[in-house]
Chains A and B, each alone.
Chain A
Amino acid sequence: MANHPNALRKCVQAGWGILTNAYIKGFLPGLPPIYQGNLKQVCVPGMNCYSCPGALGSCPIGAMQAVFDGRHRQFAFYVVGYAALIGLVVGRFVCGWLCLFGLIQELLYKIPTPKLTIPAPADKPLRYLKYLILLVMVFLLPFIVRSQYGVGEPFFCKYVCPVGTLEGGIPLVLLNEALRATLGWLFRWKFFLLIMCVVASVFIYRPFCKYLCPLGAFYGLFQKVSLVRMRVDEHVCVDCGKCARACKMNVDPHKTPNSNECIRCRECVNACPMHALSMGIGALKPSAGEEAGEDAPAPSAEAQ
């Protein structure tokens, strides 16, 4: 029973992954290998390579770079505005509920092996790596570095993104003999990164999301201002620490309920024996004590 909320999330993650990668014809030989319709004008909210044979929408990170690295050096107002809007409404809820690559990492983590927790002195600086990747590989390098023909490159997609290799590269190479003939060092490098990511996911919960994902970093910037937020009712919380122990992203929801690292999976909400944690629009309903301020009587009888 306790796993029902988590099962719901897994269903949503899987359902969304299937829905946004439902172009079956892309997987059939002899037809255009990817979807070429107008839906691709719109980005899906999560990481989803638009070169996946089944992809119906665009990837926000790929689309940002596509505008940045164009001949005219334009800022990607459309995609950045779109991603900012999603961040302002739901924050990293997308990571927890609407990202297929996140689901894949979670399923890999279910493989029964000893699990690793990166020690805090290494974990904290590593968490900043995704912001560096967002700034340098998504925003700056595609904008600044130009080839002799005056166009840039999608640096993150080209040199790092394991999602593109998994969802786009491997299926297309398997389905297309002509592409197989062109494999070189870049594919081997990206395949190596993907394998590292897959292996790490068996031992560490969502390592790509924690340390590398530029889209998670972008949405994380909006966590504290997003409409959908976490809230701790301090008048009910007994500081038992169960929420922090339940959080696989290593957040302490009691101290930082809207941490940049929280993917809003609600595992802390389900773990709280006092129902002190909640997630919803804005600050949700404050408890009677909080509404009335410090002088209000403790809502002991009602809260229990």
Chain B
Amino acid sequence: MKREFPLKVTIALIPVAIACMVFGIYRGEVATVLSKAINICMECIGLG
């Protein structure tokens, strides 16, 4: 039988990921993402 990580590991890591998200939101990263995303990213399309 293949060795698998127990679900407990996953369930313990999910709050860590959520905490990262919340910290990023608290720090204002959403505004950074939005301001980048609502303007044409010249680099992304090969013009920058």
Contacts and interface: CB of A to CB of B under 8 A. Distances in A.
- Chain B's interface: helix, strand, loop or mixed, by majority? helix
Interface string A64-77: 00110010001011
Interface string B13-48: 110111111111101011011101111110111111
A49 B33 contact: no
Q: Give the size category of A's interface with B.
A: 35 or more
A85 interface: yes
B17 A290 contact: no
A172 B40 contact: yes
Interface residues of B, number: 37
B33 A66 contact: yes
B41 A77 contact: no
Closest 3 CB pairs of A and B: A78-B24, A81-B20, A77-B24
A41 B30 contact: yes
A33 interface: yes
A244 interface: no
Given A81-B17, A182-B47, A258 B36 contact: no
A191 B46 CA distance: 8
Given A88-B17, A229-B4, A179 B47 contact: yes
Nearest to B33: A63
A62 interface: yes
A226 B13 CA distance: 10
A77 B9 CA distance: 21
A169 interface: yes
